[in-house]
Amino acid sequence: WALFSPDIEAINRLKRERNAVILAHNYQTPEIFHGVADIVGDSLLLAREAMNVDADVIVLAGVHFMAETAKLLNPTKTVLIPDTRAGCSLADSITADDIKLLRQRHPGVPVVAYVNTSAAVKAESDICCTSGNAKKIVESLGVPEVIMLPDEYLAQNIAAQTNVKIITWAGHCEVHERFNPQEIADLRAAHPGITVLAHPECPPEVVAVSDFAGSTAAMSDYVAREKPARVVLITECSMSDNVAIGHPGTEFIRPCNLCPHMKRITLPNIRACLETMQTQVEIEPALMERARQSVERMLAVK
Ligand code: 13P
Ligand code: SF4
């Protein structure tokens, strides 16, 4: 498929003409992930890599908060998102005003914001985290209690691994909240010996019956390291498609849920965005500094 698409040829030519790089999240379709992306990974890797991009233009093949994070970390670059409607149910679940109210209710308790948030929410937070570093970030603060928002399930999953008390918010990922423990039991019955890997945005009852929980990068690394004979990734659908291509010796069982936001990004709109140089991601100047600090503090934690 990848070799014969006129969009792929055009995108790779436009990247050279515009001096652009494409950063793609693990949930992008295989033709984007394997066909045109220069850098692929989880949210943490995309943030780190965005900071180091030397090219003039960054195309973020992912959702809006990822493009905002890239702009925060490399503000002199032109950051393009192929469809501005690529949102996220977690980012939409909380506002900057909600954080101000939480701070009034819990004076002095630091706020850890999942990177799946708007720049305005990041600006009101003390530090960001991703699913790949959440426990480390929470513990890095050296306090007995933190507010972790907006993902209730991620916060509960981290709370189960640490002595730090975690105050949660009732946001959920519309993709991962749909998985349930019965589905995992049915999978185990139908596919004996299967290894079950779950994203920590899944409800704790799902994580409890899985063999491993970790970020999209951690799930991919697990497959590369452990080479399970049969595996299911309890997450967004493209994840298995992308990982399976590099692991022909592993059988991937593929019940999954689609993220409609991630799926708004397509080869045709990546091509169009490089042709028109639209839509450019901008951050309100008043938010820029504080939002960036929150992401930079996260990246500074070793
Ligand atoms: P990762 O940071 O694990 O890639 O997750 C991002 C995301 O949106 C998961 O739903
Ligand atoms: Fe947001 Fe969930 Fe989609 Fe990730 S999978 S972008 S958390 S809605």
Residue 84 and residue 101 in one domain = no
For the chain, residues with pLDDT lower than 70 are 1-3
Count up the domains in the chain and report the number: 3
Whole-model pTM?
Answer: 0.97
Determine, yes or no, domain membership for 295: no
Task: Tell me if 207 is assigned to some domain.
Answer: yes
- Note whether residue 250 is domain-resident: yes
As a whole number of Å, the CA-based R_g of the chain is 19
Q: Do 151 and 177 touch, CB atoms closer than 8 A?
A: no
- The predicted structure's pLDDT at residue 1: 47
Residue nearest atom 2 in ligand 1 by C-alpha distance: 43
Q: Does some domain include residue 108? A: yes
Give the domain CATH number at 128. 3.40.50.10800
List all residues 6 or more positions away from 297 whose beta carbon is below 8 Å from its beta carbon: 126, 127, 128
127 within 8 A of 141, measured Cβ to Cβ = yes
The reply to whether 88 sits in an annotated binding site is yes
Which tens digits make up the pLDDT trace of 108-125? 999 999 999 999 999 999
Residue 259, marked binder:
yes
> Does residue 288 lie within any of the structural domains?
no
Looking at residue 3, its pLDDT comes to: 58
Among 141, 156, 173, give the residue marking a domain's end. Answer: 173
- Rounded to the nearest angstrom, the distance between the alpha carbon of 17 and the centre of ligand 1 is 31
Q: Which of 173, 195, 225 lies at the terminal end of a domain, its last residue?
A: 173
Regarding whether 163 and 102 lie in a shared domain, the answer is yes
For residue range 150-182, what is the model confidence (pLDDT) as tens digits? 999 999 999 999 999 999 999 999 999 999 999
Interface confidence (ipTM) of the complex: 0.98
Q: Is the CB of 177 under 6 A from ligand 1?
A: no
Ligand 2 center to residue 213 CA distance, Å? Answer: 16
Q: Please tell me whether residues 120 and 150 are part of one structural domain.
A: yes
- Domain of 79? 2-89+263-282
Helix (H) or strand (E) holding 223: helix 216-226
Q: What angle do CA 5, 19, 285 make, to 5 degrees?
A: 115
